[in-house]
């Protein structure tokens, strides 16, 4: 049995696929790929089927990560399928919880920045409308968040 993580942002082409791919990279480094499974989704349907943003991919490649995957929309079924759902920002967090009308899954939804060790950010900023520096920053922030998250999962859940 594996522990299942779902990363969620707005369109599922920048932040959440970056987190998914960074986490998969870290999982492989620690030889935990049989024990931890990752996916990503967006709260909107803007980019369904699209590959990760090329600017985000360029920033990830500087850190040795290739972003793979296709955008999909968050589904209510995801509440049951995943053990932990990680929102990139407050808006994503609220949109996810809005779909949990009975409040059954609130304990599964957390802000990814709560796992960061070296950044004080409360949210992962959306770099979509900014310059390349924003994409680079998001990759660094997500590496920090994902490292802390994997430490947590390895210690508490496996």
Catalytic residue set: 9, 15, 126
Q: Rounded to an integer, what distance in angstroms lies between the CA atom of residue 64 and that of residue 76?
A: 33
Q: Rounded to an integer, what distance in angstroms lies between the CA atom of residue 141 and that of residue 122?
A: 11
Backbone torsions φ then ψ of 110, nearest 5 degrees: -140, 160
Q: Are 124 and 142 within 8 A, CB to CB?
A: yes
Q: Annotate 1-45 with three-state secondary structure.
A: CCEEEEEEECCCCCHHHHHHHHHHHHHHHCCCCCCEEEEEEECCC
DSSP state letters, 89-104: SHHHHHHHHHH-TT-T
Q: Does residue 111 sit in helix, strand or coil?
A: strand
């Amino acid at each position: 049995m594996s522990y299942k993580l779902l990363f969620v942002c707005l369109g599922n082409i920048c932040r959440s696929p970056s987190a998914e791919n960074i986490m998969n990279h870290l999982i492989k480094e620690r030889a935990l790929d049989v024990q931890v499974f990752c996916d990503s989704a967006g709260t909107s349907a803007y980019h369904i089927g699209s590959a990760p943003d090329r600017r985000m991919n360029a920033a990830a490649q500087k850190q040795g990560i290739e972003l793979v995957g296709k955008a999909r929309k968050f589904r209510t079924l995801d509440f049951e399928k995943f053990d932990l759902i990680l929102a990139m920002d407050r808006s994503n967090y609220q949109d996810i919880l809005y779909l949990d009308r009975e409040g059954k899954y609130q304990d599964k939804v957390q802000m990814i920045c709560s796992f960061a060790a070296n950044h004080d950010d409360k949210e992962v900023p959306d770099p979509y409308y900014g310059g390349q520096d924003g994409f680079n920053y998001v990759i660094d922030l997500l590496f920090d968040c994902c490292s802390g998250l994997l430490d947590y999962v390895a210690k508490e859940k496996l």
